[in-house]
Amino acid sequence: PIFANIILADEINRTPPKTQAALLEAMQERQVSVGGKQLPMEDPFFVLATQNPIEQEGTYPLPEAQQDRFMFKIFVSYPKWEEELDVIRRTTAHRQVALDRVLSGEEIKQIQEIILQVPIADEIIGYAMRLVRATRVFEGESADETVPAVVKQYLSWGAGPRACQYLVLAGKVRAVLEGRFHVAAEDIQAVAKPVLRHRIVTNFNADAEGFTPDRIIESLLETVPVHAPAVASDPSTSGALS
């Protein structure tokens, strides 16, 4: 069943680690390994996975490194009144469902190529990098004095380079959906929570004080500057070399 364009992995944390690893290989490598052979998969390939946040007994939570393969982590809350009413109406009466194809696989691939061509200034890429790098807590010689206090106090692990990639890609998509042909800082800010919330690991202090990943991301959005801070030049190094 993995050889399809769209896969829904329902309650992925109920599958054993071996099954999770096989799915994640398909996500990352676009191939399936069977009996020493690699079977390539077709594009486009899109995976949706669900996790029940309430029932955790007998589950196999995805490690942080494997969660990093997913572009977004989205919270699905209870439906609104009108939405729930519509669900009940549709599912408690006999009805015929007719589905119309909206896009073909080739059209989706063309859209993906267009998104890659959306321009983004180095300054905005730098802003995405500053947001991600601000989540990293280092010790010893690698210590970064610019890491916000909230990160030092409440995070045990930060986001990696893939977070920067997905911030930029998601920002490009949002810019196009908003009718713009370039990425702005507001696009990066709009996608920061779903891109980062499953890539940062809170510590005991955060859990004890109710500091969720979303609260930490909100704090970063308020404190990390959009524009790179000015760096003062050293006059002793200026001038021509003899």
Confidence of residue 240 (pLDDT cuts 50, 70, 90): very low
How far apart CA 217 and CA 222 sit, in angstroms, is: 9
For 222, counting Cβ atoms within 10 Å of its Cβ (0-12 exposed, 13-18 middle, 19+ buried), the class is: exposed
* Residues whose CB falls within 8 Å of the CB of residue 172, separated by 6 or more in sequence, listed in order: 115, 116, 118, 120, 183, 187
Element (H, E) at 194: helix 185-196
155-157 and 201-202 beta bridge pairing: antiparallel
74 C-beta neighbours (distance < 10 Å), count? 11
Please give the Cα distance from 50 to 86 (Å, whole number).
22
The model's confidence at residue 102, banded by pLDDT at 50, 70 and 90, is: very high
pLDDT digits (tens, 9 = 90+) for 23-39: 888 988 899 988 889 99
* 169, pLDDT greater than 90: yes
Share of the chain above pLDDT 90, in %: 60
- State the amino acid at position 94 in one-letter form: H
Mean pLDDT of 159-179: 96
Q: How many CB atoms lie within 10 A of CB 154?
A: 24
